[in-house]
Amino acid sequence: MAPAPAHWDLAVVGAGPAGAATALGALHADPGLRVVLLDRADFPRDKPCGDGVAPHVLDLLAGVGVTGTVDDRVPVDRLRLGRGDLAAERRTARPAWVVPRRILDARLVDAAVAAGARLLRHRVRDLRHHPGAVVLDGKVSAAVVVGADGAHSAVRRALGRPRGPMALALRGYAPVAPGRRGAQVIEFGTRHQPSYAWSFDRGDGLANVGYGELLHADRPAPTRAQLFERLEALLPGAAEGGRHWIGHHLPLSTAHWHPPAGRVLLVGDAAGLVNPLTGEGIHHAVATGIAAGRAAAAALREGRPERAGQRYARATRRILLPHLRHTALAARLAGSARLVGAGLRASAADQRVFDDFVELGLARGRLTPAVALGLGRALLTPVRPHGRPQEST
């Protein structure tokens, strides 16, 4: 007879930022919970990403008792947005950090383990509902399960949840070009829409460099060579001397958010929560992870683990829905070269417009009245035929 599966209060599939945040949220709410983190890799391990950590992420982590995560990293407080002959470069309201996921993820896992979680190496392939529990691969049983297993989530597939729109990106690490030091640089594409290339200075002589674009059902996905060509076209020389190139998919968010009910929850990339404007996913991963952990803890505390999904849905709709609707609209508008140009001119002319666009791309921002007014003014102002206007403050 096969041994009975080990039983836990909460099993989290995937130990990236979303999974670690889930464990932290649950254990901060109830330190006595039995929480297991399951991941197919040993830590530290690399993960393809832009590596940008917004200050909002640190706010969320502080709320569950985790501080000092980026104290030894170099803050970056300049952001340059460009497209063709247009650019806006300003200081951001708060600095961000560029932290390789090999470092960030290991630190968050360590924090979760220090809080009381158990980390096990295991690749989950199968999920079954049993009376009073969910069983993973016949080996792990839990009252509540959270899928934090990324773009190709096995938990999402087991729930029969459809996959939404996807983008494809290529990331590597290369020496920082002199003109891009001390800044996060994003150059929007002029041919393949929406798309952009980036160079994010890590502060140690290297930059996280990459290119990504939306995948379309009616055309083939770009090849690795084409991704490199488009990166070079937008940011000449950025990839020179680069190493550790990895391609990856980004499951983009839409205006709709319908999390599953019951004992099985989805967070971060597994829930399709990557910003369609910027490809940013760490904020939503941490935000939804903490919310899922708290929801699981509350449902377990009242003896109704089957209500975890209901609690999570209420919390995340309040956190996410307005932002998701605004980013979905902004992503559609970004398909217009004229509107992208107007947005860059408005950002170059007005710090508040710039700040509001940054918020929209990083965390919970919205299309504000300041943005609408700035776009209107830019669209009505004649464009000078030459030059690359930009504002630095």
Encode pLDDT of 195-223 as tens digits: 999 999 999 999 999 999 999 988 899 99
220 shares its domain with 315: no
Cα distance between residue 60 and residue 57, in whole Å: 5
Domain end marker among 250, 279, 314: 250
Q: Helix 282-301 vs helix 55-62: angle between axes, to the nearest 10 degrees?
A: 20
- Averaged pLDDT, 256-272: 95
Contact between 147 and 124 (Cβ < 8 Å): no
Domain count, the chain: 3
39 shares its domain with 123: yes
The pLDDT confidence band at residue 5, using thresholds 50, 70 and 90, is confident
Residue with tokens 């209901």: 310
118 shares its domain with 205: no
18 shares its domain with 44: yes
68 in a domain, yes or no? no
DSSP string, 242-277: -EEEEEEEEEB--S---PPPSSEEE-GGGGT-B-TT
269 shares its domain with 314: yes
pLDDT tens digits for 304-322?
A: 999 999 999 999 998 899 9
Cα distance between residue 268 and residue 55, in whole Å: 18
135 in a domain, yes or no? yes
- The pLDDT assigned to 185 comes to 97
Cα distance between residue 21 and residue 36, in whole Å: 12
Distances (CA, A) of 140 to 31, 56, 202, 288: 21, 34, 39, 23
Domain end marker among 232, 250, 268: 250
179 shares its domain with 207: yes
Contact between 164 and 29 (Cβ < 8 Å): no
147 shares its domain with 22: yes
Dmax over CA atoms of the chain, in Å, equals 79
- The pLDDT assigned to 385 comes to 55
Residue 387 has pLDDT above 50, yes or no: no
275 in a domain, yes or no? yes
pLDDT tens digits for 59-79?
A: 999 999 999 999 999 999 999
- Count of CB atoms situated within 10 Å of the CB of 116: 17
130 in a domain, yes or no? yes
223 shares its domain with 320: no
Q: Which residue has the higher pLDDT, 308 or 388?
A: 308
13 shares its domain with 158: yes
283 shares its domain with 243: no
223 in a domain, yes or no? yes
- The candidate with the shortest Cα–Cα distance to 79, out of 351, 275, 305, 319, is 351
Q: What are 88-92's contacts with CB under 8 Å, separation 24+? A: 88/344, 88/345, 88/347, 88/348, 88/354, 88/390, 88/391, 89/183, 89/348, 89/390, 89/391, 89/392, 90/347, 90/348, 90/351, 90/354, 90/391, 90/392, 90/393, 91/393, 92/355, 92/358
227 in a domain, yes or no? yes
Residue 368 has pLDDT above 50, yes or no: yes
37 in a domain, yes or no? yes
235 shares its domain with 259: no
- The pLDDT assigned to 2 comes to 61
CA 55-58-62 angle, 5° bins = 145
- The pLDDT assigned to 389 comes to 45
Helices (H) and strands (E) in the chain, counts: 10, 15
Find the CATH number of the domain harbouring 124: 3.50.50.60
Tokens of 249: 């998919």
229 shares its domain with 270: no
Tokens of 45: 């391990």
Helix (H) or strand (E) holding 171: strand 166-175
260 in a domain, yes or no? yes
Find the CATH number of the domain harbouring 213: 3.30.9.10
Task: State which residues form the domain around 114.
Answer: 6-51+100-164+254-328
Q: Helix 369-380 vs helix 337-349: angle between axes, to the nearest 10 degrees?
A: 110
Q: Which residue has the higher pLDDT, 32 or 363?
A: 32
Contact between 243 and 208 (Cβ < 8 Å): no
Domain end marker among 250, 271, 293: 250
